[in-house]
Structure 1
Amino acid sequence: MSPLATSELERARTALRATFGFDGFRGRQEDVVERVLHGQSTLAVMPTGAGKSLTYQLPAVMLEGTCVVISPLIALMHDQLRSARANGIRAATLTSADADWRETQDAFRAGELDLLYVAPERASQQGFRDFLTAAPIALFAVDEAHCVSEWGHDFRPDYRMLRPLMDQFPQVARLALTATADSQTRRDVMAQLGIPDDGLVLAGFDRPNIRYAIRPRDNPVRQIADLMARQPGPGIVYAQTRRKVEELAEKLAAATGRSVLPYHAGLPAETRAANQAAFVASEDMVIVATIAFGMGIDKPDVRFVAHVGVPKSIEGYYQETGRAGRDGDPSLATMFWGAGDFATARQRLAEVPEDRRNAERARLDALAGLVETPQCRRAVLLRHFGEDPPETCGNCDNCLDPPAVTDATELARKLLSAVYRTGQSFGMGHLQKVLVGAEDERVRQRGHDRLSVFGIVEGEEARLLQPLGRALQARGDLVPTEHGGLALGGAAREILKGERGVEIVVPPRRSRSRRGDAAANPVGDPLFEALRDLRRELAQEAQVPPYVIFHDSTLREMAASRPSSLAELGRLGGVGAKKLDAYGERFLREIANH
């Protein structure tokens, strides 16, 4: 395809500056916008924070008619609605939560909407298809498009029913957007939505501003409190159960003095909505949540994401950590894991339909590989999505503080022998006591002090038993029994026969923490803090989150360049015409006061 004609490209850049306040496109945005303006259907795979929404919002402003956006969650739609309207885009949502649905329908029929957001459940109905014939349609945009695919990690059946809607308007281009899709999922999405084979724009998966770190879990309250102390700004903590969410939220609030709220599907709807709204509006709150939380927000200034336990898959991990640092500023993604997490996950595989079980097992194995690797975390993550990254990234725990690796083959054979000789029905605690020859009543009662494996581990080897047990469980070579014991699985018998070696990461004797470098105002500029105060005041007046007014990066640019006129202010990144008109004078006065 030839590049956009110069005049068309200039028109797009003019609209980009006027609407969003940006002088140029980022990454593959221009390629996607180019295809949309040419009326070509496209699947765009772009990392979170790469500006996916701009690729349909900008054409929506430029093209005749309304861009219909199919989005999975009402909260996400309303979040994007606020941001679009703040940039002067004529946008509306048509959801069950909207009281103004009649006004929205009238505005659509009158051709007064650039964007119309709807859920897939509504979009797949014949009544909605009939409604859309009342006015010109510029584009169909399908957000979180991995939900279309049964191979995707977050399959939504209603997404599978969108094809008839789009087929009814064959002249309208289709734009599918996702941050999380492996090659199999990409092929399925394109087939299901009728996007041609040459319609893929793959922007890559790297999020260089996110620092990845993975640690064994010992005391999660202390570990996350330490993380919060190092990392100012909003954060999300993912826990695996509702009970754990509430317990962690309460203990973290008490331990840190920070505002910490819970979020899970078992809370009353009004409590969930209030907690989410408080988090979205806050500049320092931490929310503890199940994975039900996150897709529904588009909050750009999340400074850290922590997992207490392993996520469901490597795709889930990528998507959940991707909620940090959407504004491009430095952010942390830290996982605290235990061997039992993988044991539980492998037990859950039995509940997966048989035709999908191998794919889910491969995802879990990939996640285990990420957790256990002594190599660059980012490289492992990116290779999973088919990329060929450099061997090191310089911004993950293993690159910054390379771990030692040891050959634990002989120790693994001792541990697996103990599992076998004790009847494959005891947990790690009991097995360790047997192997180190501990004086223990239960060991004696079972006669395990008379086994050949009793007391055969000592010294430095004893310290490695726990991390070795974690590693073997993560890899599936030790599997849980229904009564909480451990049994041989995976490659255990090959290891016992000496046919396979085992290497593990040696845990540090004490954790060495690094300060996060994601402070909003690292140099302590009083003007920057004053601009943040003004932003907070304007956000309260407009009843929107502070980031909808301006991102921190825009405020830092203001503080550094100190513009003295609307023309100078309007040249800064992120200051579009609507925001310049709405807020320019107030920010100039604040700058002049300093």
Structure 2
Amino acid sequence: MLNFVYFCIAKKLIMQAALLSQAKEALKKYFGYDTFRPMQAEIVQSVLYQRDTLVLMPTGGGKSVCFQIPAMVMEGLCVVISPLIALMKDQVEGLKANGIPASFLNSTQNTQELAITENLAYRGEIKLLYVSPEKLMTPGFINFLKKLKISLFAIDEAHCVSTWGHDFRPEYTQLGALREYFPHIPIIALTATADKLTRKDIVQLLKLNEPEIFIASFDRPNLSLTVMPAQNRFGLIQRFLRNHPRQSGIIYCLSRKGTEDLAEKLQNEGFNAAFYHAGMTAEERNLTQEAFINDQTQIICATIAFGMGIDKSNVRWVIHYNLPKNLESYYQEIGRAGRDGLKSDTLLFYSYRDVLTLREMITSNQNPNTEVQLMKLERMQQFAEAQICRRKILLSYFNEDLLHNCNNCDVCRNPPAWFDGTVVAQKALSAVARTNEKVGMSMLIDILRGSARKEIIEKNYDQIKTYGAGKDISIADWQQYLLQLLQLGLIEVAYDEGNTLKLTEASKQVLFGNRKVNLVQMSVILQKNQEKKEEVKEKPASQVLKEELFDQLVALRKEIALAEGIPPYLVFTDATLTEIAEKKPLIEADMKNISGVGERKYKQYGRKFLKVVYDFALEKIKQGEKVTGGTYLLSFDMWRQGKKLEEIAQERKLSPMTIVSHLTYLYENGYKIDISQFVNLEEISKVKEANLALGQGEKVKEIFEFLKEEISMNKIRFALSYLKRNENK
């Protein structure tokens, strides 16, 4: 019996190892990547092992791969629940472009289209099916799914299930029934923004069974963070846009009218801008969105209705014309920039008028979570007013502790004056601990300053050791210091417990360890350093070449996208084009090693992009520029002009054997070279026989001697090259 158990365990481990191996192969085949991004492999493994899984990963972090790869490896159909039609369409188009059979069902399709898709699913001809939560939970569709072999349910934008979340959607609350209908099918829930309360809700409401929880780093180091006062917004935006020519970006506005007015003003200044908001007709919104996705419109002025359904990877910047209502929204919206991992900029304009407007909007809605929404707005305001590294504040909100300044936000670039605030922090944190984490910020300040207010005396807070320990610090300064501690992740607010302050793991390091705390000195007026004019540095030649080639690659991508009626980034992302421009691949193998160039993408577009690189490289070589692999191209180009080997060798002052090595290398890697000019089929056959007799060592001299010097060594080289290329087919 014991041996049988061991046998079953061993068999299961072997199967799991095989699945992981298949997952890595699928990643390369369909997406063109050699390795998973951080945490992706562990998440994929959890899903492949049939475990319920909760994934918190920032926008652009690669959430979709976490269920798309298992879907391709596992037997059956993966059902993806997605809240927006545009997002479904976008993702399905992207999957098909990579050779993955996928489809969607939504309200835009007619009866015939719905029937075709359902038949494809029934016959097992698609691996991923995208549906809305409303469609999924209809009795008829549930019964349809019960007839299929379902491998996995993937619930995207899972924060929508929680009333604590920033984008609660009532229809998501029904998704917990999936566990009852399909008790043995694993569920993966994914979101880019969810605080502790929201995460707890997701697990509970979706009835996830002891889920593996993965919280990826929320740090997006490629995004620069800048906050500026709202005065002269339009002038600053114009300057910003002129520093970002030909780049796609989004400007978020608070009102519909604001989007229209701003777009019109930008158009009057010569910018390619359009507006987008929920008051437009569906057709108008679709046309505007398609123009932006297809790089026909550069700038979109939009309300928050825009962006969630867009998978456009080359958005290079995001501007907030008005303050967002919470940090979750802000983080999600700036996350639409730089999804390809390349450097991108974000700019937030802040005015207290926006705070008042948002407070009025929140309180007038009579939402049961009004108090929570107001507190979250307050945190957003604190972020905008902060004098410490903004990335630290943002990450601490999502319970991530960044120990070092980011050096990629406006505060880090223009830092205020600091002092060692460890003792100040210890007094505050000790007071939080001694009040058993049951007081809010105002009460804590009164305790620290030794206030004799009635509530403090009644609760005996005047008896704790830290009572009056901070009486030398003003109320205003204490407010700022506590905000900094909050922003540093040394304390957190429990919104569901009357906004009381709580200690964190990091705060314990300050109280009981040796962690020091640097704070901004608030009681002195800090003189801001005047902006220094940046020195205009001449770009190195390599950078100029890279940018010039990138522009040519972008032009080809746009031409292909227009011909095929797809968004340009579905051909290749900016990140892939940047790598091509940097590495300048000249052969198939090198192109396939570029991240994002999978098998299907290479078959569709690879040779066209290789041709652009080849023409560019050859032109630059002739102009005297140094390009890797350039010597091969020069020899090839001279041969194409009809020159003989000896002529090429003489002109280039190289040996004929070197020229032969150039041509054979390119021939083996797919270049069109008429091999019959150098060696005939009879000679190739003799070389093949000799090579077999000698053990296929491909040693030219030994074959030459074996054939009694009847065939020249250069011919032998061409013959071996012919055999290698054709054996690889």
Distance 1:269 1:512 in 2: 47
Aligned residue for 1:243?
257
Structure 1 counterpart of 2:58, which letter?
A: P
Letter in 2 for 1:235: G
Relative to structure 1, is the Cα distance of residues 516 and 50 closer, same or farther in structure 2, using a 3 angstrom cutoff? Answer: farther
Q: SS at the partner of 2:319?
A: strand
Q: Secondary structure at the match of 1:162?
A: helix
**1:265 and 2:278 matched:** yes
Deviations 1:278-316 (A, max 9, x none): 001107701000011110111111111100111111111
**Secondary structure, in 3 states, of the residue corresponding to 1:246?**
helix
Contact kept in structure 2, 1:565 and 1:588, CA below 8 Å: yes
SS at match of 1:206: coil
| Corresponding residue to 2:64 among 53, 56, 59 | 53
Once the two structures are superposed, the pairs formed by residues 123-134 of structure 1 within 5 Å of their partners are 123-134=136-147
Aligned to 2:586: 564
Where in structure 1 do 4 or more consecutive aligned residues deviate above 6 Å? 1-4, 509-517
Partner Cα distance (1:513, 1:349) in 2: 42
- How far apart are residue 214 of structure 1 and its match? 0.5
Deviations 1:166-191 (A, max 9, x none): 42111111010001000110000011
Aligned twin of 2:376:
363
**3-state SS in 2 of match to 1:175:** strand
Aligned position for 1:385: 398
1:38 aligns with 2:17: no
Write the deviation string for residues 13-41 of structure 1: whole angstroms up to 9, x where unpaired. Answer: 11110110000000111111001101101
- 1:401 partner letter: N
Matched, 1:338 2:351: yes
Give, as a single letter, the amino acid of the residue that structure 2 aligns with 1:98: Q
Does residue 96 of structure 1 match 2:96?
no
Residue in 2 that maps onto 1:536: 558
Of residues 218-227 and 393-402 in structure 1, the stretch that sits farther from structure 2 once superposed is 218-227
% same residue: 41
- Residues 172 and 515 of structure 1: CA distance in aligned 2, closer, same or farther (over 3 Å): farther
Please state how far the C-alpha of 1:3 moved relative to its aligned partner: 11
Structure 1 counterpart of 2:132: 119
Quote the offset at 1:528 in angstroms.
2.2
Question: Shift of residue 524 of structure 1?
Answer: 4.9
TM-score normalised by structure 2 residue count: 0.65
Given the alignment of the two structures, is residue 157 of structure 1 paired with residue 170 of structure 2, yes or no? yes
- Report the Cα distance in structure 2 between the residues aligned to 1:512 and 1:264, rounded to whole angstroms: 39
Alpha-carbon contact 2:294-2:568 (below 8 Å) kept: yes
* Residues 500-579 of structure 1 mapped to structure 2, 5 A cutoff: 508=528, 523-525=544-546, 526-579=548-601
Q: Choose the corresponding residue for 1:22, options 29, 33, 37.
A: 33
Match of 1:376 in 2: 389
In the alignment, the residues of structure 1 paired with residue 130 and residue 255 of structure 2 have an alpha-carbon distance, to the nearest angstrom, of: 32
- 1:442-466 CA distances to partner (integer Å, 9 max, x unpaired)? xxxxxxxxxxxxxxxxxxxxxxxxx
Amino acid at match of 2:266: L
CA distance in 2: counterparts of 1:289 and 1:213, whole angstroms? 20
Structure 1 range deviating more: 117-126 or 149-158: 117-126
Relative contact order, CA 8 A, sep 6+: which one is greater? 1
Q: Specify whether residues 290 and 506 from structure 1 end up closer, same or farther in structure 2 by C-alpha distance, changes over 3 A only.
A: farther
SS of residue in 2 equivalent to 1:523: helix
Deviations 1:34-56 (A, max 9, x none): 01101101110001111101111
Q: 1:11 aligns with which of 10, 22, 26?
A: 22
Q: Contact between 2:19 and 2:73, CA under 8 Å: does it hold in 1?
A: no
Question: Does residue 328 of the first structure (1) align with residue 311 of the second (2)?
Answer: no
Secondary structure at 1:67 match in 2 = strand
Q: How do residues 130-209 of structure 1 correspond to structure 2 at under 5 angstroms?
A: 130-209=143-222
Q: Which moved more, 1:285-294 or 1:546-555?
A: 546-555
Residue pair 1:260, 1:285 contacting (<8 A) in 2 also: yes
CA distance in structure 2 between the partners assigned to 1:23 and 1:216 by the alignment:
44
2:514 corresponds to which residue? none
- Once the two structures are superposed, what CA deviation does each residue of 1:529-554 show, in whole Å capped at 9, x if it has no partner? 22111111111111111110111221
Structure 2 counterpart of 1:589, one-letter code:
K
- Rounded to whole Å, the distance in 2 between the matches of 1:75 and 1:505 is 50
- 8 Å contact 1:281–1:545 — kept in the other structure? yes
Cα root mean square deviation, aligned? 2.8
Q: Residue 563 of structure 1: CA displacement?
A: 2.4
Q: Retained in 2: the 8 A contact 1:236–1:289?
A: yes
Does residue 252 in structure 1 map to residue 245 in structure 2? Answer: no
1:405–1:504 contact (8 Å) kept in structure 2: no
Question: How many residue pairs align between the two structures?
Answer: 502
Taking structure 1 as reference, are residues 342 and 503 closer, same or farther at Cα in structure 2, changes over 3 Å only? Answer: farther
Cα displacement (A) at 1:268? 2.1
Q: Is the 8 A contact 2:291 2:297 kept in 1?
A: no
1:584 positional shift: 1.5
1:343 is displaced (CA, Å) by 1.2
Q: 1:4 to 1:309 in 2, by over 3 A?
A: farther
User: Do the aligned residues in 2 keep the contact of 1:234 with 1:302 (CA within 8 Å)?
Assistant: yes
Q: 2:14, 2:243 → 1: CA distance?
A: 46
Q: How far apart, in 2, do the equivalents of 1:270 and 1:287 lie? A: 16
Assess if the C-alpha contact under 8 Å between 1:22 and 1:575 holds in 2.
yes
CA contact (8 A) 2:103 2:129 kept: yes
- Contact 1:80/1:298 (CA < 8 Å) preserved in 2? yes
Q: Which of structures 1 and 2 has the bigger CA Rg? A: 2
Which one has the bigger helix percentage? 2
More displaced, 212-221 or 553-562? Answer: 553-562
